[in-house]
Amino acid sequence: MEINIETDQASRENRAAVKAITFAALLWIPVLIFAPTLLFLLAVLFLYREIVSLSAKIFQKELDHVVSGLDNTFSADDFWTNPKGANSFILFTKDEIDFQLVQRRFTNVLESHPSGYQKLMTLYPTVYKGYSFWKYCDAPFNIENHFVLKLFEKHEVITERVFNAFICDWTKSRFRFSCPLWEILIIPSLQMAVKENKVINQGVLCFKSHHMLGDGYSKLKLLEKVFDLSEILEHGTVSNEYSVQVGTFMQNI
């Protein structure tokens, strides 16, 4: 009787082990089947990418390099008609903004390190053989292609609703074709009606750029070089001739 009990227990243990092995095999069989297929497809895609890249170097001299995977995640929209990957910053100032001074300051910063600001000066994205590439601009860099001046009537008072609608329309407007994907809108002086029927006079600078050029932090670092934002953050206003006196810190919209 004792022998039969031990035999039944051993039989149950064997059946449990067989079930465990069978379950593990069922889990691993799809992996063993599809893993080589997946690796083969990845190898083919990688090889095709390298062939396209080599072809671009030989036959498309105006192409610089393949857009990185991170930047490529933001390249699905149409830059020239309805850019959805653009982000913008608004800088409000206490005093009127000198349009020409800001242009010169941006030019000085960009030209001080042209290799570091290629995407802002000489490159724009295009598609070749199914891959996104950075392409050299057809014409030399011209700062005036990236600056827009908006003037309101001297005594015209703009409500916040009208201003916000105007800025939203501008942020969704298309970029200039065959130019780097950024633009600056300057309103030198604007009278805006705020709460409690109060009207304030301020300058407005809006910086719009596509996310492929960099994230918000990198653009803040660029604006910091142009306007010395470290001093703005510490004191609220600045007196440097290359800076703009700022009353409120820039807001991401």
Domain boundaries, the chain: 1-59, 69-252
Q: How many C-beta atoms surround the C-beta of residue 116 within 10 A?
A: 10
In tens, the pLDDT along 23-65 reads 777 777 777 778 888 889 999 989 998 999 999 999 998 999 8
Residue whose C-alpha is closest to residue 108's, from 242, 244, 246, 251 = 242
Residue 219, H or E segment: helix 216-227
Residue 110 reports pLDDT greater than 60: yes
Question: Considering the entire predicted model, what is its pTM?
Answer: 0.74
Q: Residue 75: name the closest of 140, 121, 119 by CA.
A: 119
The more confidently predicted of residues 154 and 151 is 151
Distances (CA, A) of 199 to 51, 91, 194: 61, 18, 6
CB atoms within 10 A of CB 250: 20
CATH class of 69-252: alpha beta
Whole-number pLDDT of residue 228: 65
Q: How confident is the model at residue 253 (pLDDT cuts 50, 70, 90)?
A: very low
Query: What is the pLDDT averaged over residues 96-118?
Result: 89
